Chain A
Amino acid sequence: GAVVSQHPSWVICKSGTSVKIECRSLDFQATTMFWYRQFPKQSLMLMATSNEGSKATYEQGVEKDKFLINHASLTLSTLTVTSAHPEDSSFYICSAPRTSGGPAQFFGPGTRLTVL
């Protein structure tokens, strides 16, 4: 079946550095991908919608200059956390719709980011 992968699965970085997280659809094309963030003991929150070939759409309260999203191909979206700070430490998950515009979603395994 369709699979969404994420890389890396975990990353530890120093405060002030930038971290790139990749989300790939392995055997299907995704014109749209979604990025979520989950803080400990909290539910997932949608951060942004990544659109292939156009700018990402960010949810209210999410800084687009801090969380850079690039959807360069139909199978790859990247989230770059720029100038990361300890409060950015979280679990980042992506998902991709099974079919374009459809409600069914495949989820990536997530990336745990720890900023020291």
Chain B
Amino acid sequence: KNEVEQSPQNLTAQEGEFITINCSYSVGISALHWLQQHPGGGIVSLFMLSSGKKKHGRLIATINIQEKHSSLHITASHPRDSAVYICAVVGGATNKLIFGTGTLLAVQP
């Protein structure tokens, strides 16, 4: 079993829909990243959070430390949001990143 699990693996949405991507982890962490990877491969860090909730534009990330679970929400989705979204946790003792397998999101116009 992977230490970081994401669901769903693939997601297709219509433009304007509200999207949720989930991440569960089984290790102790100091922080959790949500990353976006476009087809060209470059990675952008969307959020880093260790508690509560963060919002940036149409993106919202939440984390529940007790339940070891985080969600990434996209409101009013747009085709340009199409990308792979990756959850990565920062190992508590090592600061090393452990990556989830990613969620491939396709937003159709």
Which A residues are within 8 Å of any B CB, using their own CB?
Answer: 34, 36, 38, 42-46, 49, 91, 93, 95, 97, 101-107, 109-110, 112
A107 touches B95 (CB 8 A): no
Which of the residues A34, A49, A103, A110 comes within 8 Å of B43, measured between beta carbons? A110
A43 touches B96 (CB 8 A): no
B30 within 8 Å of A (CB atoms): yes
Q: Is the interface of B mostly helix, strand, loop or mixed?
A: strand
Q: Is the interface of A mostly helix, strand, loop or mixed?
A: strand
A43 touches B102 (CB 8 A): yes
Q: Given contacts A42-B101, A43-B99, is CB(A110)–CB(B42) below 8 Å?
A: yes
The smallest beta-carbon distance between A8 and chain B, in angstroms, is 13
B31 touches A44 (CB 8 A): no
Among B45, B95, B100, residue most surrounded by chain A Cβ atoms (within 10 Å): B95
Which B residues are within 8 Å of any A CB, using their own CB?
Answer: 30-31, 33, 35, 41-45, 48, 50, 86, 88, 90, 95-102
Among B41, B86, B96, B101, residue most surrounded by chain A Cβ atoms (within 10 Å): B41
Cα A109 to Cα B38 with chains together (Å): 11
Note all chain A residues with C-beta closer than 8 A to B43. 93, 107, 109-110
Note all chain B residues with C-beta closer than 8 A to A91. 41
Q: Given contacts A49-B96, A93-B43, A112-B41, is CB(A107)–CB(B35) below 8 Å?
A: yes
| Nearest A-chain residue to B88, judged by Cβ | A44
A97 touches B101 (CB 8 A): no
Q: Given contacts A44-B86, A45-B99, A46-B97, is CB(A104)–CB(B42) below 8 Å?
A: no
A110 touches B99 (CB 8 A): no
Cα A101 to Cα B65 with chains together (Å): 21
